[in-house]
Amino acid sequence: MLTHWRAHSERGFPRFQAWMLAPALVALAGCGSPAVGPCQSAPGIEAICGFKNPEDMRLLPDSKTLLISQVGALGRTVSGSLVFFDTQSQQISAAFPPSHPSADANFMRDPLPKDSSWGASNCPGPPGAEFSPLGISIQQRQDGRWQVAAVNHGQRMSVEMFEWLQVGAHYRLEWRGCVPTPAEVSMNSVALLRHGGFVASHMFDRTAPSVLGFSTGLWKSQLGIDTGYAFEWQPAQEDVFRVLSDSLGPFLNGIELSADEREVFVSVTSGNQIRKLDRASGKLLATLALERPDNLSWDAQGYVLAASLTGSRLQNLFCIQNTGESCGMAFEIVRIDPVDMSSELVFKHEGAPMGAATVAQQVGDFLYLGSFTGDRILKIPYARKKKTPSADLKQR
């Protein structure tokens, strides 16, 4: 049976302060710093510079442009942004906020849709200067328009809704609405449904009491206590957030949907597991053991790509404390068959030019890797499988 809760009306969005865990960082002093140097390529690994904490990325319908979320700083009030990255020209351009708001004001500005499927009625308005996106998703709606969702960790915890628009060779994101979440929710990732709803992952209770300035909710999630879950939001029941019952676990992270939207794949980071759930019933279908999985994405053949943080937890905390600096923490990229949940290692790395990869996105014969910290992404060759999984599970 699924669990439900209703959003608290007129409640604020308290900021948590617990990503910087001082006792662990003190212990790290004798373990060596995972920091890396300048943005330089290495044999077989191309480093592309000019980013700011490129935590998540999704391929746009043109099959060459990446939408990248640049989170401000985990747990701190530092603004971030969404940017477009042309993988052919390697040009980075502003997506949201726009680089020249006054000049962009008349660029393909459609009236707001008459339907309410682009957000909730209690959305207070566009995000402010503290906008800080984490997980992102893009989906073609039933009406043919392209919808983008971004988890906002800025001045409010919300899912911000945008429309991706194109005129000739120029792209933009037009803000369309938002879905504020209950005060206790701390989201990480989101996956859009074709009718405007979404599923999302919740890490831990951000309203949990603090001890010496550190969130007990975050501490519990790192100790393996079930603090998180996956939930679904529907425009038709905008005050209901439906929890998928078998998703309960410590610190849920990346989330994706099968092409038919019947199955949910979610990373349980502190539980070292990826779960496959039935979306309608919330029941567990299968699991895959994987060390600290982060974001998930689909490759072109219909396999799930998972970034796995294999470095020590103390190094992870060091990198979080020093968000903005490139981190060399060890990671792996794993390819997963969504039918039987078998997996294979695609790539593993530690140190320069970049570690701590949180996402892998295929573009042609390459993978692009992002991280929650630093000024760069990586480009590496990607060898495709000779066979594909079941056709109904291919990339959405």
Q: Find out whether 264 and 252 touch, Cβ atoms under 8 Å.
A: no
Residue extents of the structural domains in the chain: 17-99+128-393
Q: How confident is the model at residue 62 (pLDDT cuts 50, 70, 90)?
A: very high
Instruction: Count the neighbouring beta carbons within 10 Å of the beta carbon of residue 172.
Output: 20
- Name the pTM for this structure: 0.89
CA–CA dist 379, 365 (Å, integer) = 10
More confident site: 267 or 320: 267
> Hunting for tokens 């937890």 — which residue is that?
313
Q: How confident is the model at residue 74 (pLDDT cuts 50, 70, 90)?
A: low
Cβ partners under 8 Å of residue 166, min gap 6: none
CA–CA dist 36, 375 (Å, integer) = 11
Phi/psi for 246 (5° steps) reads -85, 15
Share of the chain above pLDDT 70, in %: 84
Q: Is it the case that residue 76 has pLDDT exceeding 80?
A: no
Most confident of 101-110, 206-215, 311-320, 373-382: 373-382
Phi/psi for 371 (5° steps) reads -145, 155
Q: How confident is the model at residue 75 (pLDDT cuts 50, 70, 90)?
A: low
> What is the structure's pLDDT at 1?
35
Q: Is it the case that residue 342 has pLDDT exceeding 90?
A: yes
Which tokens sit at 172? 């933009």
With b for 16 or more beta-carbon neighbours within 10 A and e for fewer, the 273-287 pattern comes to bbbbbebeebeeeee
> What is the structure's pLDDT at 116?
66
Residue 129 Cα to chain centre, angstroms: 20
Q: Compute the average pLDDT of residues 352-376.
A: 97
CA–CA dist 290, 257 (Å, integer) = 19
Q: Which CATH superfamily is domain 17-99+128-393 in?
A: TolB, C-terminal domain (2.120.10.30)
> What is the structure's pLDDT at 332?
98
Q: Is the dihedral of CA 232, 233, 234, 237 positive or negative?
A: positive
Q: Compute the average pLDDT of residues 161-166.
A: 97
CA–CA dist 388, 391 (Å, integer) = 8
pLDDT digits (tens, 9 = 90+) for 196-226: 999 999 999 999 998 877 788 888 988 899 9
Q: Is it the case that residue 30 has pLDDT exceeding 90?
A: no
More confident site: 207 or 12: 207
